[in-house]
């Protein structure tokens, strides 16, 4: 799984993907930013393989389209491009969704329960409505991952 630092890197990757989709950065710049960020994350090898398979599709399209006599992308290349972008977004989203369901031992801070449906962030001192029982919660104001005070670790003991 991922830790809080990975989660922030993945969010930054999503930001750059959306900037690219909104035509605010070029494909070559997107590829460089994604490459730099993914190398700083710790997801499992299988996730990185899927990421880099799609990244390589985009890199080859970028290299081919930057040729001096190259015209517009073909319909097939456009399909590959769109599929690769969508695949990268999906695997990032899937990994981000998994963050809150696994206890992150790299995080030291714990949210405080101030009411039955409210938590308090000790870092930015903001409160928000939340009734999750997952091991981790994310403060919507400062975007920090915090241990959830409502999480109760289930321990299964073996009966001999």
Residue 153 lies in a domain: no
156, pLDDT greater than 80: no
Domain membership flag for residue 42: yes
Confidence of residue 152 (pLDDT cuts 50, 70, 90): confident
The answer to whether residue 39 sits within a structural domain is yes
Q: The domain containing residue 15 runs over which residues?
A: 4-99
Q: What would the pLDDT profile of 120-142 be if each residue is shown by its tens digit? A: 999 999 999 999 999 999 999 99
Q: How far is C-alpha 16 from the chain's CA centre?
A: 12
CA dihedral (23, 25, 31, 35) in degrees, to 10, reads -130
Cα separation, 18 vs 156, whole angstroms: 43
- Residue-wise pLDDT for 65-110, tens only, equals 665 555 678 899 999 999 999 999 999 999 999 999 999 999 999 9
| Helix locations, 45-114, DSSP H | 45-65, 75-99
Tokens representing 3 are 């830790």
Is the same domain home to 19 and 90?
A: yes
89 and 120 fall within a common domain: no
Q: Which H or E run includes 5?
A: helix 4-21
Same domain as 45, residue 95: yes
Domain membership flag for residue 74: yes
Q: Are residues 18 and 89 in the same domain?
A: yes
Whether residues 46 and 25 share a domain: the answer is yes
- Is residue 19 domain-shared with residue 75, that is, in the same domain? yes
Whether 26 and 59 map to the same domain: the answer is yes
Residue 93 sits in the same domain as residue 121: no
Residue 106 lies in a domain: no
Residue 77 resides in a domain: yes
| Per-residue pLDDT band at 44 (split at 50, 70, 90) | confident
Given pLDDT bands bounded at 50, 70 and 90, which one contains residue 40? confident
């Amino acid at each position: 799984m991922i830790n809080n630092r990975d989660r922030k890197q993945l969010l930054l990757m999503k930001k750059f993907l959306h900037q690219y989709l909104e035509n605010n950065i070029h494909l070559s710049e997107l590829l460089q930013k994604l490459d730099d960020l993914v190398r700083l994350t710790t997801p499992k090898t299988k996730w990185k393989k899927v990421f880099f398979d799609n990244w390589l599709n985009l890199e080859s399209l970028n290299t081919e389209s930057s040729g001096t006599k190259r015209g517009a992308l073909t319909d097939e290349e456009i399909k590959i491009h769109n599929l690769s972008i969508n695949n990268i977004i999906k695997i990032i989203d899937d990994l981000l969704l998994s963050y809150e369901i696994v206890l992150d031992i790299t995080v030291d801070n714990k949210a405080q329960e101030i009411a039955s449906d409210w938590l308090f962030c000790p870092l930015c001192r903001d409160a928000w409505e939340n009734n999750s029982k997952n091991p981790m919660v994310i403060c919507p104001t400062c975007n920090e991952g915090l241990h959830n005070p409502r999480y109760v670790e289930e321990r299964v003991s073996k009966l001999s």
